[in-house]
Chain A
Amino acid sequence: MAPVIELEGLTVRFGPREILKDLSGSMSGRTIGLLGPNGAGKSTLINTLLGFYRPSAGTARVLGHDIRMETKQIRSLIGYMPESDCFIAHMTAVSFVRLMAELSGLPSEAALERAHESLFYVGLGEARYRKLGTYSLGMKQLAKLAQAIVHGPRLLILDEPTNGLDPPARQRMIRLVREMRDSGGLQILLCSHLLRDVEETCEEVLILKDGRKVHYSNLEEERRANQRFVELETLGDGGDFAEAVGSLGCECALSSTNRIKMVVPESFAIRDLYRVAAERNVQIRRLNFRRDSLEDIFLKAMESSNGRP
């Protein structure tokens, strides 16, 4: 898949403060999660990709277009849902979304048609003639999503899309993001500090800390790799059992007398564990495939970056 975003030594400074520090890398997933603690530079990165901030050094490419030279082309390919409350309170939802579609270049009639479609798609069909100022927070978030997709962008940037939403509204937003991802019509960059949102929707994750890239990985690959880690809780002679399993090609570590962590080879069948246990008269009380949750990945990334200057 062609890269969505390529970063080439991207640095952004506001006065003496360096907000983004020499970011490099290439991202190509259908949905890319942008994670990081507050002040990590997530929103600055998004705003720089949109051309709102000018890079102090380096550059980036969005869908093959350079952010320094081709801002207008990039903006015509992007749909952006900002984090903060952004709307025109005295306008009805349909007028507002239509205005945004027209500004993206759609002719007036097509813009009106697409505005109705988008509002129905996000679930605001029945409320589309109400003024935006009268909307609840959840509805405003959906209206922001509608304006971001109305012109059919190739890349959708969502900045904290579930901010302030109650659980049902959050679920609705996550479902919409997944549906759009699975439609294959667009790629998504989702910026959030909620790990669960990213975990539920994203294929790839980029973690920033203090303006630096501290981790970038494909979540699915990480999960597949984690399937080779097994944790066991046994009753009986764990040491003997570990030795026997080790002779079958597993790497074992005893964390206590009856807790064993092991890395199993690709060809290893789990039922062999039970066979060996039966031969050694050991009971397997619990067996877990250890999966790194996104939280583990995030915390590891934060820890590994702590020593960095």
Chain B
Amino acid sequence: MAVHKRSYRGYSGPLTPPWSRFSIVTRYAFKNAFQSKLITAFFVCCFFYPLGCAVALYLNKHVDVLVTALNIHALFDVDGKFFFHFLNAQGAMAFVLTALVGPGLISSDLANNALPLFLCRPFSRADYVLGKMAVLVTLLSAITWAPGLILFLIQSSLAGAAWMGANLWMAGSILLGSTIQIAILCLLALALSAWIKRKLAAGAALLGVFFFGAGLGQAVNAVLETRNGSLMNIGELLGSVEIHLFRVYAQSPVPPDLAWLALGALCVFCLLLLERKVRAYEVVKG
């Protein structure tokens, strides 16, 4: 309709399928996130370490180049420990990226009272949370399991099919370890973002949950002479699970099954917090 014909008219054109609408929120949230130069720059930095690892894998295989150049016979073994350290390093980057992107995802909509506008449409609360979560899942996937699997494939192509066959479990561990990292970071960031309307405060709360939890856990361990305090330390819980997944022979601070249980409970708790807060209007009972 030409702009000079200003009269109300209905819409009778085609509609997008309802299942795809969560991606609209994701698209707009991505656009918003990458308007920040800091986030863009940090996201690029997140690929430096995987790139370095890829170069290291190449050099490790072509050690004869180094032998002639630097008189070195071998660099390192490519085993579970290699990928464990890779995932730990990328996990730290993922945490910082989450702290930068996550807090603004829901808090800005809550601060603007925008939820009734989203939810008065054929668009559910689950779609909304899924759309917001997809932002973090995509970003964190791009810096954790995706480069991890690429490194695994690079090593497989360098070491041959026999190595790949013998170490296929590592691919599964990379995928599973990254998934649990991503799930915890996403849910925690979204839950805090939903409960704290200020973006900065929500970011600080995310850091607080990790670092204050770690400190409190240590204090509990020291005072009560127990190891159960480590259950408050999300980093140690993730570490315990990854030690188990990558078959690293190191002492894990928390038994792996207990760590899985605690992380599962944390996910459920975050989902409950989201369920309570992501509503068009808050109902005050009583």
- Which residues of chain A have a CB within 8 Å of any CB of chain B? 14-17, 47, 50, 52-53, 72-73, 75-76, 78, 80, 82, 84-90, 95, 99-100, 102-107, 110, 114, 116-117, 120-121, 125, 147, 149, 151-154, 179-180, 183, 185-186
Minimum distance in angstroms from B139 CB to a CB of chain A: 20
- Residues on B with beta carbons closer than 8 Å to the beta carbon of A86: 112-114, 116-117
Interface centre among B18, B116, B121, B285 (most CB of A within 10 A): B121
Cβ of B280 and Cβ of A90 under 8 Å apart?
no
A-B pairs under 8 A by CB, number: 124
**Which residue of A88, A153, A154 has the most chain B CB atoms within 10 A of its CB atom?**
A88
CB-based contact A87/B114 at 8 Å:
yes
A52-B280, A80-B116, A104-B122 known, 10 other contacts, Cβ within 8 Å: A72-B124, A76-B121, A103-B21, A106-B13, A106-B15, A110-B14, A151-B11, A180-B8, A185-B10, A186-B8
CB <8 Å contact, A116 and B3: yes
Pairs A–B under 8 Å by Cβ, sample size 14: A16-B286, A50-B120, A75-B122, A84-B116, A87-B117, A100-B121, A102-B16, A104-B121, A104-B122, A107-B13, A151-B121, A183-B7, A185-B8, A186-B10
Report yes or no: A105 in contact with B16, Cβ–Cβ below 8 A: yes
Pick the contact of B118: A14, A103, A116, A179 (CB < 8 A).
Answer: A103
Residues of chain A within 8 A of B113, CB atoms compared? 82, 84-86
Partner of A179, one of B7, B14, B281, B283: B7
Chain A residues with CB below 8 A from B34, complex form = none
Interface of B is mostly: loop
B279 cross-chain contacts in A, Cβ below 8 A: 52
CA distance A117 to B10 in the complex (A): 11
Shortest B60–chain A CB gap in Å is 47
- Residue on A nearest B279 in the bound complex, by CB: A52
Contact call A120/B121, Cβ cutoff below 8 A: no
CB distance from B27 to the nearest CB of A (A): 9
Closest CB of chain A to B13's CB: distance in Å? 5
B70 located at the interface, meaning its Cβ lies under 8 Å from any Cβ of chain A in the complex: no
Q: Is the CB of A75 within 8 A of B3?
A: no
Whether B112 contacts A152 by the Cβ 8 Å rule is no
* Residues of chain A with a CB closer than 8 A to B109's CB: 88
Q: Is the CB of B8 within 8 A of A120?
A: no
Chain A residues with Cβ below 8 Å from B124 are 72
Residues on B lying within 8 angstroms of A by beta carbon are 1, 3, 6-16, 18, 21, 24-25, 28, 32, 108-109, 112-114, 116-124, 279-281, 283-286
Q: Using CB atoms, name the residue of chain A closest to B285.
A: A15
Closest to A87 in B: B112
A100 CA / B119 CA spacing, docked (Å): 10
A105 touches B285 (CB 8 A): no
Known contacts A53-B283, A116-B3; decide if A102 and B117 are in contact (CB<8 Å): no
Question: Are B122's CB and A105's CB within 8 A?
Answer: yes
Partner of A103, one of B6, B24, B284: B24
Complex-state Cα separation, A84 to B116, whole angstroms: 10
Q: Which residues of A contact B286 (CB under 8 A)?
A: 14-17
Given contacts A82-B117, A100-B121, A147-B117, A107 and B1 within 8 Å (CB-CB): no
- Whether the Cβ atoms of A89 and B112 lie closer than 8 Å is yes
Asked if B114 and A179 sit within 8 Å, CB to CB, the answer is no
Q: How far is the CB of B10 from chain A (nearest CB, A)?
A: 4
Q: Contact at A99–B28, with CB atoms within 8 Å?
A: yes
A107 CA to B285 CA, complexed, in Å: 39
What separation, in Å, do the CA atoms of A147 and B120 have in the docked complex? Answer: 11
A90 CA to B29 CA, complexed, in Å:
12
Also in contact, A152 and B285, with CB within 8 A (given A72-B122, A103-B121, A104-B122):
no
Contact status B1-A117, CB under 8 Å: yes
| Least distance between B190 CB and chain A CB atoms (Å) | 18
A185 to chain B, nearest CB (A): 5
Taking a contact as CB atoms under 8 Å apart, the answer to whether A105 and B7 are in contact is no
Q: If the complex has contacts A99-B28, A186-B8, are A88 and B108 also in contact, measured as CB distance less than 8 A?
A: yes
